[in-house]
A and B are shown apart, each in its own frame.
Chain A
C-alpha cells in the first residue's frame, strides 16, 4: 500500500518537472513558431545556462543568484551569435538547419568540456530546508521556489508577447511574414531578437534547474528530446498546447520513473509521442 503522502510527493515531482519542461519547450516553440526552424542546440543552451552558474560560483563570486542572473545574459548573447552566424543563412532550408544546429550543439558540448572538464559538477541549493505542507507532507523548499520562478517567467513572457510593441511586431511576423515586412517591420531584427530571447529562457531554465540535477556537458540531450515531445504532444504554435503537453509528459515520466524505472518511462514517453503523431499530427491541443 502506498502512503498518501508519497503520492502527493510524486504528484509534486511531476508538477515541478512539468514546470521546467514548460520553460524549455516554450523557448523551443517560440523559435519554431516564429522562424520555422528547430534548434537542436537547444539542450546545450540549457546546459550552458547551468554551467554559467557553476562558472560564476567558481571564478567570480560565490553566489547562486548572481549566477542565475548571469545565465540568461550569457546564453542570450550566445543565441544572438548563433542566429547571426548560422541560422540566418539557412532560413530557406529547414532540414539543413537541423544539421547545422546539431553541429553547433556538438561544438558547444566539446567547448564546455575543454574549458570546464568533462566531470560532473554540483551546484548547492540556495535553500536547504523542507516546507511542511498539508497532511504532514514535507517537500523541499527549493522545488517549490522553482515552481514560483517558472510562473513569474511565464507571466513575463506572456506580458511581453501580448502587451509590448516589440511583442506585437513579433506576433505579426509569426502570423504573416511578408505582410509584416511590407508594413515596415524589421523582420530580421525580430528573428535575431526572438532567437536570443528563446536562448535566454533556455539558459535561465538550466540555471534554476542546476541544483537539482548533476551538471555535465551531456545533460542537454535528454532535455532536448523531452521538450520536443512536449511540443509534439501540445501541437506547434499553441502556447496552451505547451502547458498541456508539458503536464502530460512530466506527469507520465514522473509516474513511470517512480513505479518502474526512468529508462522505461522514457521509452513510454517516446511511444506516446509516436502514436500521437499518427493520430493527431497537429498535437492534442492543436486546435486551441
Chain B
C-alpha cells in the first residue's frame, strides 16, 4: 500500500515535470499568434483556478469572476493610460489585486453576513456583473466605452540595475504569464492543503456543522472570496498585454465560460480549471470565428450536460479512478 502511494507520487512528479517542460518549450515551436493565444489562455486558466477555490472547495457559486477579471484589467490599463508611464507596472499589478479585493470585501460583507442561501449570492453576483459592465460602457470618457482601452504604454517589468523587460515582446509575456500561473497554482494548492483549506471543505459540506465547531462561516467565506477576487484581478491585469481590454470582458458570457471550464475540467481539483480552460479555448479558437451563435449554443449544451450527466468533470473522473488527480 505504502509502495503504491510512493509510486503514485513519483508518477505525479514526472507528469508535472513533463508538463512544465512542455510549456517552457512551446514558444520555440509555435508562431507568435500561437504564443499569444496560449498566454491568453493561461490568464484564463488562472481565472479558473481562482474560481475553483471558491466554487469547488468552498461551495460558493459566483457569476462575478469576469467582473473581478475586468476590474483588474482596467486597474492596470487605466493607470498606465493616465500616468503614461510604463514604470508604474508594478503599482498597477498591485492595484489590480487590491481593487477587486476591496470590492469583494464590501460585496461579500453584506451578502455573507446576511446569511442568505448560496443561490442569492449567485444571483447578486450575476446582477453585479451585468450592471458593472453597463457602467463601464457608459463611462465613455474615461474607459473608452465599447471601443475598449487603447493608447496606453505597454507594461514593463523593471529590475534593479536598469534591466527592463517589455511585455510587448510576446516571449517575455509568455514566460511571465507562465511563471505567474505556476506560482498561483502552488499558492492555491498550499491554501487548499492548509488547515484553512479543511475549513473551506467543511463549509462546502455542511455550513451548520462548521458554525457549531466555532468557526465564523461568513468570515471564512469572505476571506476566500477576497483571495479569489484578488487572483482574478491579477489574471485580468496580465490579460492587458495578452488580449484586448473592452467592457466585453466584464460580460456574463465570460463568467459563464469560466464556470464551464471549471465544470468540464473538474470542480475541486484546481488543475481541472486549467485543463478545462485549455480544452474549451482551443475549441473556441477553431470554431467560433465562423459560427459565433453555434458556439454559444454549444457552450450552453456543454454546461447543461456537464451538470446533468458528468458533475465531476475530467479531472474529478481521473481522481476518482486513480485515487489522486494528476498534476496535483
Partners in one complex: yes
- Are A273 and B124 touching (Cβ within 8 A)? yes
Partner of B111 from A228, A229, A278 at Cβ < 8 Å: A278
Known: A38-B119, A275-B110. A106 touches B127 (CB 8 A): no
Contact string, B86-97, partner A, CB cutoff 8 A, digits 1/0? 000000000000
Cβ contacts under 8 Å, A232 to chain B: 120
Partner of B126 from A37, A89, A225 at Cβ < 8 Å: A225
Cβ contacts under 8 Å, B263 to chain A: 99
Cβ contacts under 8 Å, B259 to chain A: 99
Partner of A229 from B118, B127, B308 at Cβ < 8 Å: B127
Which of B129-137, B150-158, B209-217, B312-320 touches A?
B129-137
Known: A99-B263, A228-B123, A278-B110. A106 touches B303 (CB 8 A): yes
Contact string, A74-112, partner B, CB cutoff 8 A, digits 1/0? 000000000000100110001110111011111101110
Q: What number of A residues sit within 8 Å (CB to CB) of B?
A: 43
Interface of A is mostly: helix
CB distance from B296 to the nearest CB of A (A): 5
- Are B304 and A86 touching (Cβ within 8 A)? yes
Does residue B122 face the partner (Cβ distance < 8 Å to A)?
yes
Partner of A103 from B115, B294, B307 at Cβ < 8 Å: B307
Does residue B99 face the partner (Cβ distance < 8 Å to A)?
no
Residues of A with Cβ closer than 8 Å to B?
37-38, 40, 86, 89-90, 94-96, 98-100, 102-107, 109-111, 113-114, 118, 221-222, 224-225, 228-229, 232, 261, 263, 266-267, 270, 273-275, 277-279, 281
Partner of A96 from B113, B115, B131, B311 at Cβ < 8 Å: B311
A224-B126 Cα distance, complex, nearest whole Å: 10
CB distance from B160 to the nearest CB of A (A): 43
Interface residue tally on B, bucketed by range: 35 or more
Interface of B is mostly: helix
- Are B113 and A278 touching (Cβ within 8 A)? yes
With both beta carbons as reference points, the residue of chain A lying nearest to B301 in the complex is identified as A107
- Are B134 and A106 touching (Cβ within 8 A)? no
Cβ contacts under 8 Å, A267 to chain B: 131, 135
CB distance from B114 to the nearest CB of A (A): 4
Residues of B with Cβ closer than 8 Å to A?
59, 61, 107, 109-111, 113-120, 122-124, 126-128, 130-131, 134-135, 138, 252, 256, 259, 263, 293-294, 296-297, 299-301, 303-304, 307-308, 311
A89-B304 Cα distance, complex, nearest whole Å: 12
A222-B275 Cα distance, complex, nearest whole Å: 33
Cβ contacts under 8 Å, B109 to chain A: 278
Cβ contacts under 8 Å, A261 to chain B: 138
CB distance from B171 to the nearest CB of A (A): 37
15 of the cross-chain contacts (CB-CB < 8 Å) are A90-B308, A95-B59, A98-B61, A100-B308, A102-B303, A103-B300, A103-B303, A107-B300, A114-B293, A232-B120, A266-B131, A270-B127, A274-B107, A277-B110, A277-B116
- Are A90 and B128 touching (Cβ within 8 A)? no
- Are A277 and B114 touching (Cβ within 8 A)? yes
A221-B308 Cα distance, complex, nearest whole Å: 24
CB distance from B5 to the nearest CB of A (A): 33
- Are B116 and A281 touching (Cβ within 8 A)? yes
- Are A106 and B131 touching (Cβ within 8 A)? no
Partner of B296 from A99, A106, A275 at Cβ < 8 Å: A106
Q: Which of B259, B293, B294 has the most CB of A within 10 A?
A: B293
